[in-house]
């Protein structure tokens, strides 16, 4: 079981973590891995904190990732990375989008958006910080932010051998495939 | 061919491969997608949303008796609503095969309690299957149909959130053309008057004995021999967690057919292993039966019955193993609770409602449950679907009897009103109370992801249908005082509350405006027009009073530094609720 890898995607309802989970698991499946994926439905989608968990290897049992178990944490929003950091293995790494979505208590002025999130995470694990919104805009469509992050994830997990273009084509609308592939490649280039 | 499917998608596919031709349900997380997926196969399956689970279950009984293979699905609390027909159908038995999916929610991801519905199988004395991954979800549907028809029993098909909503690989089979058995009139079987039912009970007990023999034989309950120091009995996702924890270091009795339990097989397994663990989520359903059979095992004394399990919880409980985690201060991260969307028609309603004094606000279940959260805080209770109206009535009667200056206001969504609110409102009229019932009609079933309902004009399979209008319906129930208002208009709301509070008879206020996320029908477009737009704050006019912030709109942000509010244009849809509450008219609609 030690060959099973754990990828944790987190963000805010509506940010497109589910699509990335889909593309990721399609590609892994086509590459011959056993794959399990868990996602959150229902209430939490209304602007709440969401996670999407992908596990792959020769044989996967549990569909969920436990605390301290993720090999990589990809956070689509900055402070969500800190909320879910306890799920990352101390030997894992983080990809964090430098992109803030204030939650309700912050919007109401009850809490402040926490400062120094990136520094805390960097002090614990190897961390790649990405301004995915800006990259997506440069690519030509701000809504491909999630796919930029996906590119960074693929590089971070050394999964570049898989045919991701095909996996993207299978999961997005035909007219959107090219721009998403462009965003994916831009994301790939952000991690070395 | 292999596909990556959720358990729910796999059940729908399994239904197709098993020749199921009728399915009915009321939505409820985590079961909803079963019917949504089945609905796609219009040529093979009749798939319907019922107004509630009892109705759905009875429709399925009818289809089974007529000779079709059938499926019912509900979240676990939905099975409570269908419990009455369930217990008696357990006596009559089936004609065409019948399975009821109970989608339980350990961990209460989106439910109001954490009940373990495996107990229904034992209580109703019917067979139970428990898939542990998506492949089993698909395959077991066909098995369920065969067992149901062979043993003349409804099947409880028990899933949990992690089985319903996690994806795993499924080998796809062949869809079959549904056929039906002939309908044969048989009063001794289907007419549960006492004279018949008395004899049927005898049959039910005989059936249980046959089912237990089957349980001991079937490959659905299988042993994996490894190290015999530890033996594990597990079913469903708990089996996956046990495998994750023990790997090859334990032997397993994997239970797929979980009621009646294969007690002879369990006895034989127990005799071979040194320590026997029963790993199960929630209640000691298997453990109690195994212990009652005189077999020693370890279960709930080590593994909690509260919330969902994870491999780590099982590992810690049974092996004392813990995994290193990153040490940091999680408390610096503010919460991110779910909120009503920007432009949600429920917002203005709760904003005005919160201002009323001496009221008890009985809530119900749906997106509008969030009307009780910060900063709206306009709710006193949520118990179960439909309860807002009947609880409100009971409370009002007592306030009146003891001369307390209190009024109850019941808040209920359109889908919830159709579900079980109608009976409650009938009670209010019949028993002469003066409650105020507010029906929040956003033209769709919002919370569970936009399912059609009797008021929306379409069926699950997309057929246009008669719209059941709420206003004439409540009038027909005998409500004399009804007002329909636009919930984006705060003045209209306020006037309606004042009007209702002055009445000594029961009244109904219907707020009618579509869910902001709803894909509008032609009828919606005609009725509501294109109202979408944007609002902005004129910064120099804003005095930083935060009145607008008290609406809880996620598009509004208060900047502590500048003491001004800003509207996030990517979220704002121009509902203008904030514009109406601003005391200095600092918010305007773009283009006005
Ligand atoms: C007995 C039962 N069945 C189903 C559910 C799941 N459920 C909760 S709210 C809801 C729909 C609410 O729709 P509506 O009343 O129209 O309110 P909205 O979310 O649109 O505001 C459903 C299906 C439940 N909690 N209990």
Query: Do B108 and A43 touch, CB atoms closer than 8 A?
Result: no
Q: Which fold has domain A5-188?
A: Pyruvate-ferredoxin Oxidoreductase; domain 3 (3.40.920)
Q: What is the mean pLDDT of residues A166-191?
A: 95
Q: Is B365 in the pocket of ligand 1 (CB under 6 A)?
A: yes
In this complex, the residue of A34, A49, A66 whose CB is nearest that of residue B336 is A49
Q: Which residues contact A184 (CB under 8 A, 6 or more apart)?
A: A147, A148, A150, A151, A154, A164, A165, A168
Its ipTM equals 0.95
Residue with tokens 């996956």: B240
Residues in chain B: 592
Question: Which of A51, A85, A81 is closest to A68 using CA atoms?
Answer: A85
Q: Which fold has domain B345-528?
A: Rossmann fold (3.40.50)
pLDDT of residue A13: 85
Q: Which residues contact B94 (CB under 8 A, 6 or more apart)?
A: B64, B65, B148, B149, B152, B153, B154
Chain A closest CA to B155's CA: distance in Å?
A: 26
Q: Is B385 in the pocket of ligand 1 (CB under 6 A)?
A: yes
Measured in Å, residue B366 CA sits from the centre of ligand 1 at 5
Return residue ranges of chain B for CATH 3.40.50.970. 2-217, 345-528
Chain A closest CA to B169's CA: distance in Å?
A: 7
Name residue B481's beta-bridge partners.
B507
Return residue ranges of chain B for CATH 3.40.50.920. 222-319
pLDDT band, residue A1 (cuts 50/70/90):
very low
Average pLDDT of each block of 10 consecutive residues along chain B (592 residues)? 95 98 97 98 97 98 98 98 98 98 96 97 98 98 98 98 97 94 98 97 98 98 98 98 97 98 98 98 98 98 98 97 95 93 97 98 96 95 98 98 98 98 98 97 95 98 98 98 98 98 98 95 94 96 96 94 94 97 97 86
Name residue A75's beta-bridge partners.
A10, A96
In this complex, the residue of B167, B323, B560 whose CB is nearest that of residue A36 is B167
**Helix axis angle, B194-217 to B263-272, nearest 10°:** 30
Extended beta strands in B486-550, E state: 507-512, 535-537
**What's the pTM value of the predicted model, to 2 decimals?**
0.96
pLDDT of residue B316: 97
> For chain A, first and last CA: distance in Å?
28
Give domain B222-319's CATH architecture: 3-Layer(aba) Sandwich (3.40)
Where do the structural domains in chain A lie, given as residue ranges?
Answer: 5-188
The closest residue, in CA terms, to atom 3 on ligand 1 is: B78
CATH number at B2-217: 3.40.50.970
- CA torsion A154-A156-A161-A166 (nearest 10°) is 10
pLDDT of residue B592: 83
- Strands B155-160, B564-567: pairing is unpaired
Q: Which residues of A touch B247 (CB under 8 A)?
A: 1
Q: What is the mean pLDDT of residues A73-97?
A: 97
Measured in Å, residue B415 CA sits from the centre of ligand 1 at 7
Tokens of A52: 């999407």
Q: Which residues of B touch A13 (CB under 8 A)?
A: 338
Q: Where are the alpha helices (DSSP H) in B82-219?
A: 83-92, 118-124, 134-151, 161-165, 187-190, 194-217
Name residue A37's beta-bridge partners.
A54, B167
Query: Do B364 and B416 touch, CB atoms closer than 8 A?
Result: yes
Distance CA A33, CA A47 (A): 33
Whether A137 shows a pLDDT value over 60: the answer reads: yes
How many CA atoms does the CB half-sphere of A119 hold within 13 Å? 3
| Backbone phi, psi, residue B532, to 5° | -65, 145
Return residue ranges of chain B for CATH 3.30.70.20. 535-589
pLDDT of residue A14: 84
Give domain B535-589's CATH architecture: 2-Layer Sandwich (3.30)
Q: Which residues of A touch B243 (CB under 8 A)?
A: 61-62
Distance CA B79, CA B52 (A): 10
Q: Which residues contact B221 (CB under 8 A, 6 or more apart)?
A: B215, B253, B254, B255, B256, B257, B262, B265
């Amino acid at each position: 079981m030690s060959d099973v890898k754990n990828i944790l995607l987190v963000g805010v309802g509506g940010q497109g973590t589910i699509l990335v989970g889909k593309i990721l698991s399609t590609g892994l499946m086509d590459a011959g891995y056993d794959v399990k994926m868990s996602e959150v439905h229902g209430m939490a989608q209304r602007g709440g904190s969401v996670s999407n968990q992908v596990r792959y290897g020769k044989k996967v049992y549990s569909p969920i990732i436990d605390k301290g178990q993720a090999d990589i944490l990809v956070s689509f929003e900055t402070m969500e990375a800190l909320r879910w950091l306890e799920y990352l293995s101390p030997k894992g790494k983080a990809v964090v989008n430098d992109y803030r979505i204030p939650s309700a208590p912050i919007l109401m002025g009850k809490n402040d958006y926490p400062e120094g999130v990136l520094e805390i995470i960097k002090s614990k694990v190897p961390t790649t910080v990405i301004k995915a919104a800006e990259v997506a805009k440069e690519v030509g469509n701000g809504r491909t932010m999630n796919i930029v992050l996906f590119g960074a994830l693929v590089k971070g997990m050394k999964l570049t051998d898989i045919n991701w273009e095909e996996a993207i084509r299978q999961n997005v609308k035909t007219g959107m495939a090219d721009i998403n592939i462009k965003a994916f490649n831009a994301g790939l280039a952000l991690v070395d | 061919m292999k596909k990556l499917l959720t358990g729910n998608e796999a059940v729908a596919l399994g239904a197709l491969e098993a020749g199921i031709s009728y399915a009915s349900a009321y939505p409820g997380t985590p079961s909803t997608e079963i019917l949504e997926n089945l609905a796609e196969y219009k040529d093979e399956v009749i798939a319907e949303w019922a107004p509630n689970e009892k109705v759905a279950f009875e429709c399925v009984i009818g289809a089974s008796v007529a000779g079709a293979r059938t499926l019912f699905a509900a979240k676990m609390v939905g099975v409570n609503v269908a419990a009455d027909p369930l217990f008696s159908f357990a006596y009559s038995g089936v004609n065409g095969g019948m399975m009821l999916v109970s989608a339980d929610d350990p961990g209460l991801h989106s439910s109001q309690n954490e009940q373990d519905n495996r107990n229904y199988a034992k209580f109703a004395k019917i067979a139970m299957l428990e898939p542990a991954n998506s492949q089993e979800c698909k395959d077991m549907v066909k098995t369920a149909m065969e067992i149901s028809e062979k043993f003349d029993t409804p099947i409880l098909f028990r899933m949990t959130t992690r089985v319903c909503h996690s994806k795993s690989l499924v080998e796809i089979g062949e869809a079959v053309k549904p056929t039906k058995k002939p309908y044969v009139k048989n009063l001794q079987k289907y007419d549960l008057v006492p004279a018949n039912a008395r004899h049927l009970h005898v049959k039910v007990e005989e059936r249980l004995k046959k089912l237990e023999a089957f349980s001991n034989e079937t490959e659905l309950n299988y042993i994996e021999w490894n190290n015999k120091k530890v033996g594990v009995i597990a079913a469903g996702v708990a089996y996956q967690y046990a495998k994750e924890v023990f790997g090859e270091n334990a032997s397993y009795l994997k239970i797929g057919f979980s009621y009646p339990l294969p007690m002879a097989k369990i006895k034989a397994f127990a005799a071979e292993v040194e320590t026997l663990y029963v790993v199960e989520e929630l209640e000691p359903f298997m453990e109690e039966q195994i212990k009652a059979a005189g077999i020693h095992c370890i279960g709930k004394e080590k593994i909690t019955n509260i919330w969902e399990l994870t491999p780590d919880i099982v590992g810690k409980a049974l092996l004392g193993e813990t995994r290193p985690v990153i040490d940091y201060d999680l408390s610096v991260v503010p919460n991110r609770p779910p909120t009503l969307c920007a432009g949600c028609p429920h917002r203005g309603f709760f904003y005005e409602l919160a201002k009323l004094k001496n009221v008890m606000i009985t809530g119900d279940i749906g997106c509008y449950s969030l009307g009780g959260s910060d900063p709206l805080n306009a709710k006193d209770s949520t118990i179960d679907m439909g309860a807002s109206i009947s609880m409100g009535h009971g409370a009002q009667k007592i306030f009146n009897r003891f001369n307390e200056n209190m009024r109850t206001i019941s808040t209920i969504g359109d889908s919830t009103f159709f579900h079980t609110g109608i009976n409650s409102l009938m009670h209010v009229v019949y028993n002469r109370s003066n409650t105020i019932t507010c029906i929040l009609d956003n033209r769709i079933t919002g919370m569970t992801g936009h399912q059609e309902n009797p008021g929306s004009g379409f069926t699950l399979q997309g057929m246009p249908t008669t719209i059941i209008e709420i206003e004439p319906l409540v009038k027909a129930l005998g409500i004399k005082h009804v007002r329909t208002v636009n919930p984006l208009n705060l003045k209209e709301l306020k006037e309606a509350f004042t009007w209702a509070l002055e009445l000594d008879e029961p009244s109904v206020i219907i707020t009618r405006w579509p869910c902001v996320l709803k894909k509008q029908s032609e009828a919606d477009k005609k009725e509501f027009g294109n109202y979408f737009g944007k609002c902005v704050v004129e910064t120099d006019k804003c005095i930083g009073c935060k009145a607008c912030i008290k609406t809880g709109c996620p598009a509004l942000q208060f900047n502590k530094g500048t003491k001004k509010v800003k509207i996030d244009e990517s979220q704002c849809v121009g509902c203008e609720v904030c514009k109406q509450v601003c005391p200095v008219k600092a918010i305007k609609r773009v283009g006005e």
